[in-house]
Structure 1
Amino acid sequence: MADRNTDDIRICIPITEMTSTMVRLPVYMLEGNNRGLFEPRVISIGPYHRGHESTLIMEAHKEQVLEGFFQRPGNVSRQEYIADVTANCFQQALRCYSGNTDGYTAEMLMRDGCFIIELLLRWNKKEDVHDNYVRVMSNSIYYDLLLVDNQLPFFVLTMIFSKVKGHINENHTTRLLDLVIDFFNHEGQFSWANLGQYSDSSNACRVPHLLEDVCQVRHLLDLQYKFVVGRNMGNNDNEPTLSDSCPFSLCGNIRHTPPSVPLGIPGANELQDDGVRFHVSKNKLSKMFDVTFKRKTMRIPHFKINFGSKILLANLFAYDQILFHRSNQSTDQPGNNVGPVTSYVVLMNALINAREDVVVLQREGILDNLLSNEEEVASFFNNLGRCTLVDVSKHRYTSMFHDVNKYWRNKFNCCRYFAIFSMKHCRNPWTCLSLLGAILLLLISSTSMIFAILKFARG
């Protein structure tokens, strides 16, 4: 797989399948606090955000970076790149966008593509961009390049890279895929998605199951989506996971199944008050989407939430819905097909309704909150949960939701009340000591009373 020259393939996905794959997000998804998650802060790529107020300053600095690209020894002229883009991929690229592309020219497409390639090359060689503004804004550029409607078709980048490739490496061994992996998955980025092992591009050949479909990459966000989902998908056959085993026979003989079980579940704080325990998955390599509920315990992998992870999760969430919406439309069988990222957001939105829920998950090590306060975390998941583009009545955790509700609504489950008692009276050593003292005092009082009664009876 490592020897496969994917950079010589310009358009691997049939153009009919690429048509309208880059969807412009609806306005309601950009309302309120969500706007900063989906709109570029520094740089616009593609036609959708062309002329956006926040990206105007970068246009002049983008030109300086492009000058460095065209000044590479042996590289061809700007006009030749424009001619190649016009002849080979401009019309195909426009068909990939479902929104308005008026005014977006082949030269603009070339400039965007060459700018991205130059950034990747300079990052890989640890070269300076020779522009202070671009250097200072590099972190914002990183996130802007992963916005769902701020993308270029990957075959455009492939074509541009194939032209400049001969001038950057005498042995022609550098691959575009390696440059992208090295740039987007370096140390510290995507740590919450268990992608640390991809921080070095030399590891690319170690994950052939993710690279089998490399020629099916649609754009930069699509490639990151494949890595995140491919790396973080475990076995989840949507079968019930709750074990009703109980040491008391009464619980096994008496069942109370509500006539209708709600589709949602209570928040984390309420569930904990009713005896549900929350634990972070102890295995550091546990899959991000592997959430289980067994024996009154819900195990959730660790999630570090900061400004960057908010942007990444939000755009993976939006793109996940776009992919599965197209998948549902292309199948003849009716039904709902929800992706893993959407399912994860549905789960977190259900568990987190207020700051108290965030505190519960944070106390158990599930959430590592690097935002200003717990209210901001709750607001993020609640606002994101309202931005669903597909029906989420059935998702990856539907069976788990059913099991949680069955436990929560079963009034005859004595184990539930024992768990509630333990949660309220055995949470820390002081409450345990107080409880033991009260029990000891009760035993002493009862013993004294019994001896007094026996003494009185004998007299």
Structure 2
Amino acid sequence: MEITNDSVSQTTLNNFEAPNDSIIDWIIGSVTDVDADADATTSTAPRIPKVPGTVREKHDYETYYVPKVVSIGPYHFGEPKLQLIEKRKPVIAMKLFSNKEAILSLYETLSEPELVKELRSFYEENSTTEYSDKVFIKMMLLDACFILYFINFLYLGGAEDYSELKSNEIFFVRRDLYLLENQIPFKVLMKLTGDGLLDYIKPFIVFSSFVISSSTEESGDEDDREPNHLLDALHGKHSMIVKAPTLTFDPIKFSGCNFRNVSELADVGIHFKPIKDTLSMTHIEFVKGWWRFSADVKLPRIAVSDYTRPMLLNLMAYETCRCSINDSWVTSYVYLLNSLVDDAEDVKVLRKAWVLDNYLASDKEVVELFDEIGTDLVPSSFAYIEAKYKMQRHYDSWSNTLFSQLKNEYFKSPWAIFALLGALIALFLTGVQTYYTIWSPESKCDDLCQFLKMNHHL
């Protein structure tokens, strides 16, 4: 997507006088001015909250919630370690637009008093008061330009000039753009690109997702609302409702699950398969097999890499701040995986089933990852309850338990199967022989034998 003057409203352009070079130079200069604004306060619940204190204490805040190379928004603005890319943002803004007039026009559009007040309300109260309106809007504009530059030029093939970002920075930039405390309102990006932004960034969201989908078309109910920010857009993809649950039992009476891991479920004939056409974590299916002794549990296919831990933690932190308990699908999915993955053998089973792609050094690291982020979670009470109920019923079935025991005792090797078949055949023949010995009817041969014995003294 090429961003030109056409992205800017013609009405907006006509409402401003010829740009003043000093103003333009100030806009595209580094954001260094800090000027207090007494009216820059917010009173509503922030849509871009800070990571809650309880979460900070539980996990390493500096490692998983603080940006490594780029600051987006006011929370980490001005930190010394982030200045290297901060100084490049004005150059990036100039590369994104064809002339200075377009940048000035967008700055003036974002400077509307009501819009400034709304944008400030996205953040926690008093977190933006140290910045004047001019500095705050300049920050929003340059950060939005950086995000669009990164998406367009580095992931969507918009240009060949990658000089403003080094190869070793790209990994961390992608990570930083999805941190909860490193967001700007989606509305700012909309002002720069127009109403087609959602379609424009959809490939980037799919690319950034740790859930793997073989299709770009979703079969569920898309949320038509404008996301609050990039992290919210990613969360919306992962928590999209694929289908309304239709419970076949009373959830109040369901006492929960007593199976421990993937291996225990595999022992009673439950196999795992990937759902390949969705990014949503809400889609889990339980399907009975033909002979009733087996069943398939279908899960969204997940890739575990160095990105996974910080992205999951920030999504769960966002759910802690913004979502109700019944909407915490990411938290519930992590809780489910943590309950299924108990050791490296469980990870191996999921890998072989193509439910989990492991890009870490070992399967043990996957276990450690979910042990760390899945401890003390409070998932939705009704998340996956239908699938859990069916798995528990299958697990408790005496016929499935008997079949499992036979399989474990006799089906581990071909020789064990042959020995079992030989024993069954021998038992069958012994039974046939016993039957005919006891219950066989008399024949003419029997009468002849008796006659010969009587007359020939045999």
TM-score by length of 2: 0.69
Instruction: Identify the residue that residue 108 of structure 1 maps to in structure 2.
Output: 139
Q: 1:449/1:130 Cα in 2 relative to 1: closer, same or farther (>3 Å)?
A: closer
Q: 1:357/1:217 Cα in 2 relative to 1: closer, same or farther (>3 Å)?
A: same
3-state SS, counterpart of residue 323 of structure 2: helix
Amino acid at match of 2:142: R
Amino acid at match of 2:121: R
Tell me which of 257, 268, 283 is aligned to 2:262: 268
Q: Distance in 1 between matches of 2:421 and 2:177?
A: 63
Q: How many residues were matched structurally?
A: 389
Q: Distance in 2 between matches of 1:235 and 1:421?
A: 38
- Per-residue CA deviations over 1:284-316 (Å, capped at 9, x if unaligned) read 336653323344524123323222344444444
Q: Distance in 2 between matches of 1:221 and 1:195?
A: 22
Q: 1:444/1:84 Cα in 2 relative to 1: closer, same or farther (>3 Å)?
A: closer
Instruction: Identify the residue that residue 338 of structure 2 maps to in structure 1.
Output: 349
Tell me which of 419, 425, 428 is aligned to 2:410: 425
TM-score by length of 1: 0.69
Asked if 2 retains the 8 angstrom alpha-carbon contact of 1:22 and 1:97, the reply is yes
Q: CA deviation at 1:96?
A: 1.0
Q: CA deviation at 1:25?
A: 1.3
Instruction: Give the unaligned 5+ runs of structure 2.
Output: 1-5, 13-41, 289-293, 438-458
Q: 1:92/1:446 Cα in 2 relative to 1: closer, same or farther (>3 Å)?
A: closer
Asked if 1 retains the 8 angstrom alpha-carbon contact of 2:48 and 2:122, the reply is yes
- 1:177 lines up with 2:198 in the alignment: yes
- Per-residue CA deviations over 1:153-212 (Å, capped at 9, x if unaligned) read 1112223446xxxxxxxxxxx9333432244445xx4373427426xxxxxxx9996374
Asked if 2 retains the 8 angstrom alpha-carbon contact of 1:267 and 1:351, the reply is yes
Q: How does 1:70-89 map to 2 (within 5 A)?
A: 72-73=98-99, 75-76=101-102, 82-88=107-113, 89=115
Q: Distance in 2 between matches of 1:6 and 1:339?
A: 36
- 1:234 lines up with 2:266 in the alignment: no
Amino acid at match of 1:435: I
Instruction: Identify the residue that residue 452 of structure 2 maps to in structure 1.
Output: none
Instruction: Identify the residue that residue 284 of structure 1 maps to in structure 2.
Output: 276
- Per-residue CA deviations over 1:291-350 (Å, capped at 9, x if unaligned) read 23344524123323222344444444443444423xxxxxxxxxx523333332221121
Q: Distance in 2 between matches of 1:143 and 1:417?
A: 49
3-state SS, counterpart of residue 152 of structure 1: coil
Q: CA deviation at 1:351?
A: 0.8
Asked if 1 retains the 8 angstrom alpha-carbon contact of 2:343 and 2:367, the reply is yes
Bigger helix share? 1
- 1:372 lines up with 2:361 in the alignment: yes
Instruction: Identify the residue that residue 58 of structure 1 maps to in structure 2.
Output: 85
Q: 1:194/1:441 Cα in 2 relative to 1: closer, same or farther (>3 Å)?
A: closer
Instruction: Identify the residue that residue 22 of structure 1 maps to in structure 2.
Output: 48
- Per-residue CA deviations over 1:416-444 (Å, capped at 9, x if unaligned) read 221332245325xxx14323224415754
Q: Distance in 2 between matches of 1:212 and 1:384?
A: 31
- 1:225 lines up with 2:235 in the alignment: yes
Asked if 1 retains the 8 angstrom alpha-carbon contact of 2:175 and 2:307, the reply is yes
Amino acid at match of 1:126: G
Instruction: Identify the residue that residue 152 of structure 1 maps to in structure 2.
Output: 184
Q: CA deviation at 1:238?
A: 4.1
Q: Distance in 2 between matches of 1:445 and 1:209?
A: 59
- Per-residue CA deviations over 1:210-260 (Å, capped at 9, x if unaligned) read 3743xx221122223333433x7234334459xxxxxxxxxxxxxxxxx98
Q: Distance in 2 between matches of 1:53 and 1:366?
A: 42
Asked if 2 retains the 8 angstrom alpha-carbon contact of 1:291 and 1:298, the reply is no
Asked if 1 retains the 8 angstrom alpha-carbon contact of 2:93 and 2:145, the reply is yes
Q: Distance in 2 between matches of 1:337 and 1:307?
A: 28
- 1:40 lines up with 2:62 in the alignment: no
Tell me which of 388, 407, 415 is aligned to 2:400: 415
Instruction: Identify the residue that residue 298 of structure 2 maps to in structure 1.
Output: 300
Q: 1:452/1:260 Cα in 2 relative to 1: closer, same or farther (>3 Å)?
A: closer
3-state SS, counterpart of residue 133 of structure 1: coil
Which of the pair has more CA radius of gyration?
A: 2
Q: Distance in 1 between matches of 2:44 and 2:203?
A: 26
Q: CA deviation at 1:377?
A: 1.1
Tell me which of 396, 406, 422 is aligned to 2:383: 396
- Percent identity of equivalent pairs: 20
Asked if 2 retains the 8 angstrom alpha-carbon contact of 1:269 and 1:357, the reply is yes
Asked if 2 retains the 8 angstrom alpha-carbon contact of 1:153 and 1:219, the reply is yes
Asked if 1 retains the 8 angstrom alpha-carbon contact of 2:8 and 2:106, the reply is no
Asked if 1 retains the 8 angstrom alpha-carbon contact of 2:178 and 2:230, the reply is yes
Instruction: Give the unaligned 5+ runs of structure 1.
Output: 11-15, 163-173, 199-205, 242-258, 326-335
Asked if 2 retains the 8 angstrom alpha-carbon contact of 1:264 and 1:350, the reply is no
Q: Distance in 2 between matches of 1:125 and 1:238?
A: 46
Q: 1:292/1:219 Cα in 2 relative to 1: closer, same or farther (>3 Å)?
A: same
Q: CA deviation at 1:101?
A: 3.4
- 1:93 lines up with 2:86 in the alignment: no
Q: 1:238/1:144 Cα in 2 relative to 1: closer, same or farther (>3 Å)?
A: farther
Q: 1:196/1:409 Cα in 2 relative to 1: closer, same or farther (>3 Å)?
A: closer
Q: Distance in 1 between matches of 2:216 and 2:117?
A: 38
Asked if 2 retains the 8 angstrom alpha-carbon contact of 1:7 and 1:176, the reply is no
Asked if 2 retains the 8 angstrom alpha-carbon contact of 1:317 and 1:345, the reply is no
Instruction: Identify the residue that residue 417 of structure 2 maps to in structure 1.
Output: 435
Asked if 2 retains the 8 angstrom alpha-carbon contact of 1:240 and 1:400, the reply is no
